[in-house]
Amino acid sequence: MPVGTRGTVRTQTLGQLEALGAPMLLANTFHLLQRPGAEVLERMGGLHRWMGWRGAILTDSGGFQLFSLAHAHTLGEDGATFQEVADGPRVVLTPERSIAMQRAIGSDVMMVLDHCVPATASHGEAEAAMALTHRWARRSLAARGDSPQQVFAIVQGARYPALRRASADALTAIDGFDGFAIGGLAVGEARAEREDLTELTAALLPADRPRYLMGVGTPLDILEAVHRGVDMFDCILPTAWAQHGRAFTAAGKVDLRQGRHRLVDEPLDPSCPCQACARHSRSYLHHLVKCQEPLGWQLLAEHNLRFYVRLMAELRTAIRNDTFAALLAARRQTLAQVAA
């Protein structure tokens, strides 16, 4: 899912996103609650109509901000109160308010409010956050009411396998969730540990409902997670890395900030049909990146998003054709390397 935090995927028009073929975008409840707010979205008929997007939308609940804005909130049983600067506005986020905002957004998939803690959290801290997440999950499900929108629960437990098992068991025992997410990863743990926890957790979740690994990750991360049973992903890397001149290609990662590209009159990736590759040389893209021209960010973001969408299509085809094992062995090598 391309990440459209505030109702837009940075640098990309709707036409570009539709041409990509990505069926679903991710938007963030916390940020849309701050601006434009529920009233605007309710009056405008929801986010799909307001932004003009015909595909599906999944909304994060705002739970990740409990991690990313840990310095700016106070936490209690009812929810969290955010205040990023001393004299700034306060934002109160409870399970009920998060779901109410997601109903106003009109997303196809709503996420329960959860408590995400860093990988360095102690066992006691992780267990308390997990238990709070379970209580909030029940409240979030109840707050859905008669809405036809789907609701996904979020497994927490930090880096502790026993807590991951306990969280998966507790949430799958609650009737009514349409899918399950694996949260609290890519927050400081090592890659091998993340892969082990993903494999452990995915195996505990129902096979007949989607499994969503939140906020992960690089193309190699996605390949390894699909291998471990995950269905859905979101990550800001395609557009965030593009802003800094980095691109994913069939031959590996490319950093266009490096001077070795200055005189290279070749495409970024000959196998890619995007505008960056079909019309421009690495030399020109290097120039745009070094000059910090917005066009460079736009072109590389489109390229990176296309790379991700094509990779996902490739993985789906391999699964259907029962050739995933061979694809895994081949792609592990190229996705991990840096292109010359």
Q: Which residues are catalytic?
A: 60, 234
CB atoms within 10 A of CB 125: 14
Query: CA 32, CA 207: separation in Å to the nearest integer?
Result: 32
Structural contact between residues 183 and 114, judged by C-beta atoms closer than 8 angstroms? yes
Element (H, E) at 59: strand 56-60
CB atoms within 10 A of CB 281: 17
Structural contact between residues 3 and 9, judged by C-beta atoms closer than 8 angstroms? yes
Structural contact between residues 253 and 234, judged by C-beta atoms closer than 8 angstroms? no
Strand 80-82 versus strand 73-75 pairing type: antiparallel
Amino acid at 175: D
Element (H, E) at 212: strand 211-213
Query: CA 263, CA 249: separation in Å to the nearest integer?
Result: 19
